[in-house]
Structure 1
Amino acid sequence: MSDHGVSQTNNSETEEEEELRRLLVPDIHDLPLTPPSAVDFNFVAYFSPDFIKPGHDQYVYRHANGLCVIGLAPTHVAFKDEGGITAVDFNVGKSDRSNFKVTGKRKKNAQHFESNTALCKVCTSNESYIVRCCVKGSLLEVNDRLIKQPGLLNTSADREGYIAIIMPKPADWLKIKNSLLSSEEYKKMREAS
């Protein structure tokens, strides 16, 4: 093989390595200033503005596995009270939601709720507000940390301050999804009002 043939082989190997590097290593200019959070990366955010009552805005974060995390949107009326949220009570309706436990792969003991079923009551120094499911499905878990640490709603409502986790049936999710807003639609709506 001549020197000319060797240099062509080296050039094509170098080009392949550069192409592979471009595919594997992102261009620093294409990266966001802050990386996405685990919630942003793993969930699709939906919003239910004015759910049953004006100002009762809630979020529904849906994971690819179908689970929905329910919580208070940043524009919920409870956050407008000066002292913020001071208490969370899961004893609503006929049962205390914080006492039930779901077990096993088949989610034994999961309670099936309608979208308007009360999950809990959040209290401020002046008022109390009922937080509802927003999504028809099986209640798998409530965030009982909020009983002792209601302040999590004031500081981190979109993460540690979530209210509950619900598993809707696929058909029920498709029905409710059309009534929910995307993050962009929700922001536009709230900025306009």
Structure 2
Amino acid sequence: MIQPKIIDSINLHSLNKFLSVSDRYYKHKYCVKFTSKEQNLDQRVSFHTNRICMISLGENHTVMKNNKKILKINCSIDNKINRLLNATSGKGKRGAQKLTENSVLCYIECEDGDIYPVYSCVQGKLLEINEHLISNPNLLITNPVSKGYIALILPTLNLYESIKNSMLDADEYSKI
């Protein structure tokens, strides 16, 4: 008796009904407080079920909207702070760089000479900067919610709900 292949038993059209990993485990919110008339600096803050926040560019960010060519991601904030040198250890993430919502995570430097700051949008501890962006900065545009995330942040726990509630959800963001 010949057994049918398992793959033949799967209806490939039904796979489209499942949510992506990003949509399944993250609540996407948008921080628009850094946007001005000159530049749109909207950022997506994805809140994971474990409370870790993933920072990426919002769909209306100038870099995304204009499909700008990114020259590099600069994580040297000043002479003293380099986000790539962040080192955490232990359960409490000792040694992590502390962030306010106004802290700059990095600068996006484009081929046309424009430079865009990326803010943390969340008060907490920097867990990591996505090092893949150093070698392939255009992941910011091509895969913003997966391989092109900018940073992971552990928010200050007693501020978690207020941080989350201060941002726009996807429906509110789509209306602006």
TM-score higher than 0.5: yes
8 Å CA contact 1:112, 1:139 repeated in 2: yes
Q: Give the gaps of 5 or more residues in structure 2.
A: 1-10
For residues 2-81 of structure 1, the aligned pairs below 5 Å read 33-51=16-34, 53=36, 54-81=39-66
Structure having the higher helix fraction is 1
1:50: how far off? 4.5
The two structures, once aligned, show a CA RMSD in angstroms of 1.9
Q: Could you tell me how far apart the structure 1 residues matched to 2:68 and 2:159 are?
A: 37
How many residues of Structure 1 are paired with residues of Structure 2 in the alignment?
A: 160
Contact 1:51–1:134 at 8 Å: present in 2 too? no
Letter in 1 for 2:121: C
Q: Is the 8 A contact 2:73 2:134 kept in 1?
A: yes
Name the aligned partner's letter for residue 95 of structure 2.
Answer: N
Deviation at residue 82 of structure 1 after TM alignment: 5.2
Residue aligning to 1:135: 122
**1:170, CA displacement in angstroms?**
2.5
**2:96 maps to 1:113:** no
Q: d(CA) in 1 for partners of 2:24 and 2:89?
A: 27
Per-residue deviation at 1:175? Answer: 2.4
Look up the match of 1:7.
none
CA distance in 1, matches of 2:34, 2:98: 19
The answer as to whether partners of 1:73 and 1:158 remain within 8 angstroms in 2 is no
Q: Does structure 1 residue 175 correspond to structure 2 residue 158?
A: no
Matched AA of 1:117: S
What is the deviation of 1:71? 1.0
| Aligned: 1:92 with 2:94 | no
AA partner of residue 106 (structure 1): G
Partner residue in 1 for 2:174 = 187
Determine if contact 1:85/1:150 at 8 Å carries over to the other structure: yes
Amino acid at match of 2:93: K
Residue deviations 1:27-56 (CA, integer Å, cap 9, x gap): x9xx67342111100010001125254410
**Runs of 4 or more consecutive aligned structure 1 residues displaced over 4 Å after TM superposition:** none
1:86 Cα deviation (Å)?
2.3
Higher gyration radius (CA): 1
Deviations 1:13-34 (A, max 9, x none): xxxxxxxxxxxxxxx9xx6734
Structure 1's 155 and 105: CA in aligned 2 closer, same or farther, altered over 3 A? same
| Percent identity (aligned) | 33
Q: 2-side partners of 1:33 and 1:146: how far apart?
A: 29
Contact 1:59-1:70 within 8 A present in 2 as well: yes
